[in-house]
Amino acid sequence: METDNFNAQVDFATDFIKDLFGFFDIENDVTINTSSSGQPLININIKDNEWIKEFLNDEGKAINALQLIIKMFIYRQINDHASVRIDINNWKEEYIQELIDYTKEIVEQVKEKELDFEFSPMNSFERRLVHQEVGKTGLFSYSVGENKNRRVIISLEKKK
Residues 99 and 85 in one domain: no
Tell me, yes or no, whether 145 lies in a domain.
yes
Residues 87, 101: Cα–Cα separation, whole Å: 19
Query: 3-class SS at 79?
Result: coil
Residues 27, 46: Cα–Cα separation, whole Å: 6
CATH number of the CATH domain containing 100: 3.30.1370.50
Q: Domain boundary at 73, 89, 105, which?
A: 89
User: Per-residue pLDDT for 145 more than 90?
Assistant: yes
pTM of the model: 0.75
Q: Domain boundary at 51, 70, 89, which?
A: 89
Domain count, the chain: 2
- For the segment 29-42, what is each residue's pLDDT rounded down to a tens digit? 888 877 666 677 77
Query: 3-class SS at 85?
Result: strand
Q: At what angle do helices 91-113 and 124-135 cross, to 10 degrees?
A: 50
Residues 74 and 145 in one domain: no
Q: Which domain holds residue 102?
A: 94-155
Mean pLDDT of 55-69: 79
Residues 76 and 114 in one domain: no
Residues 53 and 112 in one domain: no
